[in-house]
Chain A
């Protein structure tokens, strides 16, 4: 049974990516028989390059992907280096963890409502401090350099990178390592960066690649916070693929290849930066300098982290207020009146998208957990963990930019008449849910003392019994956490849902993002509130159930 795990997972992760890439590459070179394209040509490429501002869009995607990834890593790296092992660290870590469950779109909406010239921050300071009675005429968000989009992406990337870094910390024996470098006289931050960070970095490297790929090809955050004249590449691709002019599909396919190139470019430049960073690190490490005075750096790092968490929380609060706001004119800090009109208008239409969201997220999560368990159990059977190649495989759907293979995958689903079916939607969500579930489950799985099962076997219990009566209960919390993460990932999926659901299957996320380009703030407030509450409930369940089931057993309660 467990033998089926790895091949199934490889099939599930690799096949859609391969088919999707093929379905993108062929039309990009003019091959799409359904639209009369039968001979290879460079016409789609020419069509793409004739699009106004396409290079600027590509450059924006490149810059935003690189800058948000680098910025997030910078904050996380300095924070972990400067603070790990302290009380502040534990406190902030606890605050950050729930942020992982906030879908990108909700965080981006909240951030937009916060920083807009008419947003909550401006209202907080106006008119008393600023003298503004009308919002200042400055281009935020949607600024042409994508700075608000970069900041919005960082809000979500920082918690993600922080959590994978935390997972890597025990493996490098950070506690003892820190003592050693301190004994050698190094400042906390520098000592950590020089001695411990390289090993951590190796562990989280693929995660960083995933972040870079995501932020250079994201659609929903770009639609909410990104530049509009022109937008980044990915949202333009989505525009073309849904254009009534079907010939634009060729341009979209060629554009998807350009997107692939942009993302690969970001990764290549990143690898170059890694080399530069390593060179610099070695120079500094051997120079004999100890960098004992790092107070300022530490404070800046903690402030950066706290600000990012604060922005998300304050943004979500703003959303929540908007969802019940009556007339709320600038510069009033609070609405003149409260009304449930937004909720009343959304509630009757909430049930279908909500149901789809729940069904798809629950099915994809369940399947992903089952598959991850099969793969990990198979590791146990074979007696060695999956190798580097398997790890790359798991990260594949996260590193190949979504438009590059989802366009082709959509074509494939259309051609077998499966588009807009629940099964297809679950399948495509599974492709993105499985990696996160696997990554989240594998550490606790591998670190569970295998002798527990050996004892059970020695007591005469079969492998299967030992698995169900010992390993599964002991991993209950890890399983539920992995499931909660998978659930949150599924709820947050935008592009796959839009393309495969084809507007006929909508989720709370597609409903919310559909309002991105300037829907009613009250209604956006309602949708995003629902969107963020779902994953939150998932994490609540993952915390409460083990606490309840094992309330009598100290060692497994939390």
Chain B
């Protein structure tokens, strides 16, 4: 599994924001840094498949050896984490995870079991039936991570995912996310303006804008 950005260029009103060609090998992280408005989140949206139509974009995106540029978001298998956990507030924790769990796990029992395993793995045991609104910040972040990993993505897109967590939690979460990505051999595209994120990620660092 690898993530390949082939001459990707994104412009707004004729003004180029981002232009790059990169290969992110499995288990490694490409970190894109830049001030707000520099277009780093736009790059993420382009890779994820929900770029706002007001932008003009060119270049190909390959995920796991497949050109996904013309595929809709849901077929790209690019899992995304935002700075907010964005747990669906109208579903339980378990409901959120079942919603995320990849379709190839079939059967009620098998799917429940997969979710239970994930809950335990992410120290969420016993919380399956909870309203997401009642969870702590760290728990919410872990549910979001579990949800995206259960969907069996081929790449991980991180949009400043740690910026809203307090410092100790941020470190723990960062370690957890990168460890999971490495363990699953996922290429990761991280956009951030936090140098510490970039340091922890290792891998290539790309600065854009300004």
Contact = CB atoms under 8 A, between A and B. Distances in A.
A and B touch in the complex (CB under 8 A): yes
A473 B90 CA distance: 7
Contact of B153 (A451, A458, A466, A473): A458
B11 to A, nearest CB: 15
B73 A457 contact: yes
A417 B152 CA distance: 61
A449 interface: yes
Nearest to B55: A383
Contact of B54 (A383, A455, A556): A383
A383 B42 CA distance: 13
Contact of A550 (B52, B53, B90, B100): B90
Nearest to A384: B54
Q: How large is the interface on B (under 10, 10 to 19, 20 to 34, 35 or more residues)?
A: 35 or more
B53 A382 contact: yes
Contacts of A457: 48-50, 72-74
Interface string B49-76: 1101110000000000000000011110
Given A460-B102, A470-B88, A454 B77 contact: no
B27 interface: no
B90 A474 contact: yes
Contacts of A459: 74, 79, 99-100, 147-148, 151
Interface string A445-472: 0000101101111111111011001100
Interface stretch (B113-121, B131-139, B201-209): B131-139
Interface in B11-69: 45, 48-50, 52-54
A554 interface: yes
A388 interface: no
Nearest to B45: A454
Nearest to B151: A459
A458 B79 contact: yes
A451 B41 CA distance: 12
Interface string A469-485: 11001101000000000
Nearest to A450: B50
A474 B89 contact: yes
B5 interface: no
Interface in B128-167: 131-134, 147-148, 151, 153, 157
A351 B148 CA distance: 55
Interface in A425-462: 449, 451-452, 454-462
A427 B52 CA distance: 35
A554 B133 contact: yes
Most buried by A among B74, B92, B131: B74
B88 A554 contact: no
A48 to B, nearest CB: 51
A458 B88 contact: no
Contacts of B148: 455, 458-459
Contact of B52 (A383, A460, A470): A383
A553 to B, nearest CB: 5
B173 to A, nearest CB: 17
A1 to B, nearest CB: 15
Interface string B77-104: 1111010101011111000000110110
A455 B103 contact: no
Contacts of A554: 89, 131, 133-134
B77 A455 contact: no
A460 B151 contact: yes
A460 B102 CA distance: 8
Q: Which of A451, A452, A459, A473 has the most CB of B within 10 A?
A: A459
A452 B86 contact: yes
Given A552-B131, A554-B131, A461 B74 contact: yes
A296 interface: no
Q: Which of B49, B54, B86 has the most CB of A within 10 A?
A: B86
22 contacts: A382-B53, A383-B52, A383-B54, A384-B53, A451-B86, A455-B86, A458-B73, A459-B74, A460-B102, A460-B151, A461-B99, A462-B72, A462-B74, A463-B72, A469-B99, A470-B88, A473-B90, A553-B89, A553-B91, A554-B89, A554-B133, A556-B89
Interface of B: 45, 48-50, 52-54, 72-75, 77-80, 82, 84, 86, 88-92, 99-100, 102-103, 131-134, 147-148, 151, 153, 157
Interface of A: 381-384, 449, 451-452, 454-463, 465-466, 469-470, 473-474, 476, 550, 552-556
Given A383-B52, A458-B148, A474-B89, 13 more contacts: A457-B50, A458-B48, A458-B80, A460-B77, A460-B102, A470-B88, A476-B90, A552-B131, A553-B133, A554-B131, A554-B134, A555-B132, A555-B133
